[in-house]
Amino acid sequence: MKKISLTNKFIINKTIHWCIIGMLLPISTLFIMDKGISLLQIGLLVAIQSATVIIFEVPSGALADNYGRKNVYIISMMMMCVAAIIYIFSVGLLQVSIGIVFMGIAQALSSGTIDAWFVDEFNNEFPKGDLQSALAKSNVFTLISLGGSSLLSGILPMSIGTILHAKLHLSIYSINFIVEILLIIIQIVLTKRLIVEEINENKKAKILESLKLSPKTLKSSLKIVVRNKSIFFMMLSTVVWGLGFSALEVYWQPQVKNILGEETKIVVFGVINAGYFFAGAIGSIIISPICKLFKGNLLKVLILIRILLGISFIILAFQKNIITFVIVYLLLYAINGMAESPYYTLFNNHVENENRATLLSLESLFMKSGGLVGSLGMGFVVKDYSISVGWIIIGVVVITSASLFFKILIMDKKHSSSP
């Protein structure tokens, strides 16, 4: 039997992981609205999930660095399975809130685990390898899997979901969570078989011992962030990204309903959701030649991408026709797809192996903090004004955040010119 390469193992894991996530993305807001929950309450629920992730994010990264990335990732899949079961049988705000908390814990535990494992293994196996190209290749498969599962996610409630509703009186969206549970089981089995991790004997610890070591690991990681201004500015840039895309991902479905009316078919949301992941995949494909065009200067690429993202948010806010809305929406996600591999290549180049999972969790913590602010702030803007006004504000903030990468560029030039 042919041995599976390191990159392909990573791609298999990420593909199934994001298939699991994609089963919920197109219907998440619709599912909550189906429980009689208002848009303002939805914003608060997203804030609860973000707060949960923030609380568990960094300890989980430190836990992964000490207990093992693979072990912590498997625990996260189990937590996600619990969340799905709660969602299936939820009947109101309280039950949905409990499911949200479990899902937040699962996201925190999974954040930066397999990614950190792959970067460490890649750097060990290919010391002079092209990490950006490997991450870009992985991102293409990730986005295609998200697109395919999102398309299926929009079809399932209108087919099998209606049968479950008629026979068992479950929500039509319950089928999405049932399929998610099946995918989680497959993912756990494959992770156990494919992901091989050798934990440093000096750091190897049981789970309780790992929790005791977490504060020390966190402290050393925070010192790195404070001392390394490049990492700090990149962290701030993820706050803005989290703020912007939280406001987009939560409110694009209600905006489409506003454009098309209340009788919008659910499959439309699945098609649009699938489209934006395929658009992201295109962005991931074309970013490698773009980086070569800029002679590998990833900071210049990121400055351009961040400005284009902000402009796209503003243009999207003015769309009142579904065709132009979808075109701009997909263009926005294609531009976003271009950003991931250069950003994480730049980030990982500044990070040492020992603290990688913790720093990736810190980075995710900054992003979720932005998401928390975005979901809460957007909820109040939507209540008093409109979704469009909120997106215009987001666009201006995103454009301004390009200055963070510009500051890193100036620092790098000063550093390279100094004797």
Of residues 267 and 294, the one with the higher pLDDT is: 294
Main-chain phi, psi angles of 28, to 5 degrees: -60, -50
Contact criterion met (CB below 8 Å) for 375 and 48: no
Per-residue pLDDT reduced to its tens digit, 306-360:
999 999 999 999 988 888 988 899 999 899 888 888 888 878 777 766 667 667 7
Contact criterion met (CB below 8 Å) for 250 and 386: no
Collapsing DSSP to helix, strand or coil, 126 comes out as coil
Prediction pTM value = 0.67
Kindly give the interhelix angle for 387-400 and 402-417, rounded to the nearest 10 degrees: 10
Nearest to 272 by CA among 294, 257, 261: 257
Per-residue pLDDT reduced to its tens digit, 97-154:
899 999 988 988 887 788 878 888 888 888 777 777 787 778 778 877 877 887 788 7
pLDDT at 182: 95
Contacts of 310 by beta carbon, 8 Å cutoff, 6+ apart? 394, 395, 396, 397, 398, 399, 400, 401, 402
Residue with tokens 């439309």: 268
Kindly give the interhelix angle for 229-260 and 322-349, rounded to the nearest 10 degrees: 160
Contact criterion met (CB below 8 Å) for 74 and 192: yes
Inter-CA distances, 38 with 32, 93, 168, 373, Å: 9, 10, 26, 19
* Distance, CA of 225 to CA of 220 (rounded, Å): 9
Helical (H) or strand (E) element with 1 = none
Inter-CA distances, 390 with 111, 204, 273, 378, Å: 28, 47, 21, 6
pLDDT at 74: 92
Helical (H) or strand (E) element with 80 = helix 69-89
pLDDT at 213: 46
Structure-block tokens of residue 401: 């955040």
DSSP string, 156-220: GGGTHHHHHHHHH---TTHHHHHHHHHHHHHHHHHHHHH------TTT---HHHHHHHHHHHHHH
Question: Sign of torsion, CA 115 119 121 126?
Answer: positive
Collapsing DSSP to helix, strand or coil, 274 comes out as helix
Mean pLDDT of the chain: 80
Averaged pLDDT, 379-398: 86
Query: Hey, what CATH topology would domain 6-195+213-417 get?
Result: Growth Hormone; Chain: A; (1.20.1250)
Q: Say if residue 401's pLDDT is above 60.
A: yes
Contacts of 373 by beta carbon, 8 Å cutoff, 6+ apart? 239, 242, 243
* Distance, CA of 154 to CA of 269 (rounded, Å): 6
- The domain ranges of the chain are 6-195+213-417
